[in-house]
Structure 1
Amino acid sequence: MTSEDARPVLRGPRFHLRPPISSDWRMWAEVRAESRDFLEQWEPTWPADALSRLGFRRRIRLYQRDARADQAYAFFIFSNADNQLMGGITFSNVRRGVTQSASAGYWVGRRFARQGVMAAAISLSIEWAFGDMGLHRVEAACLPGNRPSADLLRKCGFTEEGYARRYLRINGRWQDHLLFAILDSDPRPAFD
């Protein structure tokens, strides 16, 4: 647990996830800066102060407000070996009532890509979402040209459900997306 947020730390054999805190800024800014050209093509346009301490503080306040309102939950991914920040995963658009669902978004620093980091993070966080959060369904989307992301979602037990035209504004343009989902009753592989 952290003093800034009472959500749990999700622990796996090689990685752990926890809510971001203000003191993560320097490491977060470093990983994001060195991965900027790797990440920008898959993300919304970065604001001018994207990596600033002030911008990060605003981000943390938003994460905390959204968690208190049960609207979204953000986690950073850390290596157990050296506590290195490697990426993040967020459950947003939490919908309750008859739906019990959320949307998952994720990122990983360039130097940590294709090392099993995100598969392990998705696995840990999906178990939390279906357990502690009580969700029935988690959705995710990726650009049709982002083959590694589509393959990752399939590997983690997600099923491709459709194609959404001009679904999200990514890197300054409305872009089509492949839509995926996983249900609490679907088989889920475990990753370390």
Structure 2
Amino acid sequence: MKLKTKRTLIDVPNSDDTQALLTFINENKAHLAPWEPTRDKHYFTKENVQNLIKDYQVQFHNQTSYYLAAFDLERQEILAMCNFTNVIRGPFQACYLGYCVAEKYQGQGIMFEVVEAGLNYVFNELKLHRVMANYIPHNTKSARLLTRLGFEKEGLAKRYLKINGTWQDHVLTAKINPHFIDD
């Protein structure tokens, strides 16, 4: 699976991408910490990144989650990550969206470009009906991104996820496949 945007090549990382993912995770440790679960020092090791990549590949082949890295066009550097996880089939046909952008690429529209391409893939190729994305209320950048992508607010979940060591409320949003036709 490979997607291409104007500035990125989007793909599930493989073993050849270990150094690029390790660099992305380590260079953005402080930048991403306020929005992620608390990570122990093992998370930032090459061994862990190799295991993450193996897991990403397994989940892709099992069609249960799609962990996508947005590389530069030469596939040397990861600019952002976009994840469609916990894919549920049957009558629900849905998944969760997660994303992050490298600190040095913030404010350049990279995240919009990458998530938009990912949404097109899950709606048009995977034929999912619904994508859900949740954000911490004070994360105004995520709020703006999701609104721009057409996500609608559906509610507020109190103490929803333990982020950076604290149970955080989250705004619940979703986007319905605009091309979905009932069968």
Identity of aligned residues (%): 32
1:15 aligns with 2:8: yes
CA contact (8 A) 2:70 2:114 kept: yes
Match of 1:90 in 2: 83
Q: What SS class does the counterpart of residue 90 from structure 1 fall into?
A: strand
Any stretches of 5+ residues in structure 2 without a counterpart? none
CA contact (8 A) 2:67 2:81 kept: yes
Match of 1:34 in 2: 27
RMSD between aligned residues = 1.5
1:149 aligns with 2:113: no
TM-score normalised by the chain length of structure 2: 0.92
1:175 aligns with 2:165: no
TM-score normalised by the chain length of structure 1: 0.88
User: Aligned partners of 1:78 and 1:163: how far apart in 2?
Assistant: 33
The CA deviation string for residues 10-59 of structure 1, in whole angstroms up to 9 with x for no partner, is: 11122221001122222222222222111011011113211211101111
Q: How does 1:34-183 map to 2 (within 5 A)?
A: 34-80=27-73, 83-183=76-176
C-alpha displacement of 1:146: 0.6
CA contact (8 A) 2:14 2:54 kept: no
* CA shift in 2, pair 1:60/1:101, >3 Å: same
C-alpha displacement of 1:83: 4.3
- AA matched with 2:112: A
C-alpha displacement of 1:81: 6.4
Q: What SS class does the counterpart of residue 44 from structure 2 fall into?
A: coil
Structure 1 segments of 4 or more deviating over 6 A?
none
CA contact (8 A) 1:14 1:81 kept: no
C-alpha displacement of 1:82: 6.9
